[in-house]
Amino acid sequence: MKDSRPSMRVAGLLRRCAMIAVGVAASAAVGTAVAATGTTNWPTKAVSVVVPFPAGGSTDTIARMLAQPLNEKLGQPFVVDNRPGATGAIGATFVKRAPADGYTMMVASIGVYAVNPFLQKNLAYDPAKDFDLLTVAVRAPNVLVANPNFPVKSLAELVAYMKKNPGKVTFANSGAGSSDHLTAALFWQKSGAQGLHVPYKGGAPAISDLLAGQVDVSFQNVNAVLQHIRSGKLKALAVTSEKRSAVLPDVPTMAEGGVKDVEVYSWQAAAAPKGLPADVKTRLHGAIVSALKDEGMQKKLSEQGFEVVANTPEQFVQFEQQELKRWKEVIEKGGITME
C-alpha cells in the first residue's frame, strides 16, 4: 500500500499558505481603510495650534481660549505655537508644509485667509488650496474711534470734515493690509472722502498714538478698544456690523451714520494642512464647535465683543471665496500695496 503521508503534508502546507494569504489580504484591506479614513484613536499625543501672529492679539486670545476645552474633550494637550511674521504668511506656510495627520492645526484671521494673496508677491501658500478649512470660530465688527479732542461728534460730521480737508485726517492702523486698514479703504471708497493712511507695526502702537492724539481716528476691533471707549479715552463714531453691537448699544452702525456697504467683520478661523484624514477632521471640527457653543465660553467671548460663528467646513469654504472676492476688489480699486 502506497504511503499517503507526503501528500497529507503537502495538503496541510497548502492549507496553511491559504490561511496566511487570507490574513495578509485582510490586513491590507484594514490598512487601506485606515489610510482612507484616518486613525480612530487620534489624538495620541500633543497637538500644535499654530498662531501666525505674536502672543497677546485677538487671534492668539481665541486660540488660547480654545486650547483648554480641546484638551479636555480630546484627551491630549493642545499647545499654542506663535509663529509671527509677514502678516501671518510665515506661520501659514509652516502649517501648509506640516504633515496632514491631525497634530498641527492653525488659528488665523482674515488677513491670512483672504487678504495676503492680493498684497504679497510670491506668497508661499494658497489659502483656497493648501488647507482643510474647519470652521470660522468667531467674528467681531470693527469700530471707528477718534481721539476725544478731534473736532467731530458723529460719522456724518467726520465725512463732512474729511471732504473739507481731503487727505488730512489721519487714520491709524496695525499695518498695511490689515483688517483696520482695509476697512478704512472701503470707507473712503463708499463715502467719497479720502483720509491719510498711517500704518503701524501692530494694533497696540496704533491705539497708543490714537490715545495720545498723535493721530485722529482709527478702525479697530471692538475688543481691542472697548475699555478705552467705556472710560472715555476714545469716542466711538460707528460700528461696522449689520446691527448695533451688544457691547456698544449706543453706537450707530455705519449705515445708520449715512455710509452704506461698509459692513466688515474681523474674524478668526481654524484650519489644518490639506489632506486631513476624514475621521480626524470630523472629530476636530466637532470638538471646536462644541467648545465654542459652551455657554460659559459664549459668555466670555460676548463680553469681549466676539460673536460665535462655529460653521461647517463647507460653509467656511463658501465664506472664504466671498471674502477673497470682496477684498481683491477693495485692494485693486484702492491701489493698496504692502508699503
Q: Could you read off the pLDDT of 119-172 as tens digits, one per residue?
A: 998 999 999 999 999 999 999 999 999 999 999 999 999 999 999 999 999 999
Name the amino acid, one letter, at 29.
A
> Do residues 59 and 268 touch, judged by C-beta distance below 8 A?
yes
Q: Which long-range contacts (CB under 8 A, 24 or more apart) does 111-115 make?
A: 111/87, 111/177, 111/178, 111/179, 112/52, 112/87, 112/88, 113/269, 113/271, 113/320, 113/323, 114/320, 114/323, 114/324, 114/326, 114/327, 115/87, 115/177, 115/179, 115/182, 115/327, 115/331
- 141-239: same fold as 47-139+266-334? yes
Query: What was the pLDDT predicted at 120?
Result: 92
Return all residues near 208 (Cβ < 8 A) that are at least 6 apart.
none
What are the cell numbers at 303?
A: 463680553
**214 Cβ contact partners less than 8 Å away, ≥ 6 residues apart:** none
pLDDT confidence of residue 304: 87
Taking the CB of residue 169, how many other CB atoms lie within 10 A of it?
21
pLDDT of residue 28: 43
Domain residue ranges of the chain, discontinuous segments joined by + = 47-139+266-334, 141-239
In the three-class reduction of DSSP (H, G, I as helix; E, B as strand; rest coil), residue 263 is classed as coil
For residue 58, the model assigns a pLDDT of 85
In this prediction, residue 20 carries a pLDDT of: 47
Q: Could you give the CA distance from residue 60 to residue 80 in angstroms, rounded to a whole number?
A: 8
Question: If DSSP codes are grouped into helix, strand and coil, which group holds residue 281?
Answer: helix
Q: Which residues contact 275 (CB under 8 A, 6 or more apart)?
A: 100, 132
Q: How crowded is residue 163: how many other Cβ atoms within 10 Å of its Cβ? A: 12
pLDDT beneath 50: ranges in the chain: 1-2, 6, 10, 13-14, 17, 20-38
* pLDDT for the residue numbered 224: 87
In Å, the largest CA–CA distance within the chain is 121
Give the model's pLDDT for residue 305: 87
Q: Measured between alpha carbons, how far is 143 from 35 in angstroms, rounded to an integer?
A: 47
Residue 140 sits at φ, ψ, to 5 deg, of: -150, 140
Q: What was the pLDDT predicted at 24? A: 43
* CATH class, range 141-239: alpha beta
DSSP assignment, residue 87? G
What's the pLDDT at 35? 41
Q: CATH top-level class for 47-139+266-334?
A: alpha beta
Cell of 152: 467731530
Residue pair 230/215 in contact (Cβ under 8 Å)? The answer is no
What distances in angstroms separate CA 82 from CA 88, 246, 266, one per listed residue?
A: 10, 31, 19
Q: Name the one residue in this structure whose C-alpha cell is 466637532.
A: 286
Phi-psi region of 88 (alpha: psi -120 to 50; beta: other; left: phi over 0): left
Grid look-up 463715502 returns 191
Check residue 201 and give its pLDDT. 78
Task: Taking the CA atoms of 203, 209, 214 and 218 in sequence, report the sign of the dihedral they define.
Answer: positive
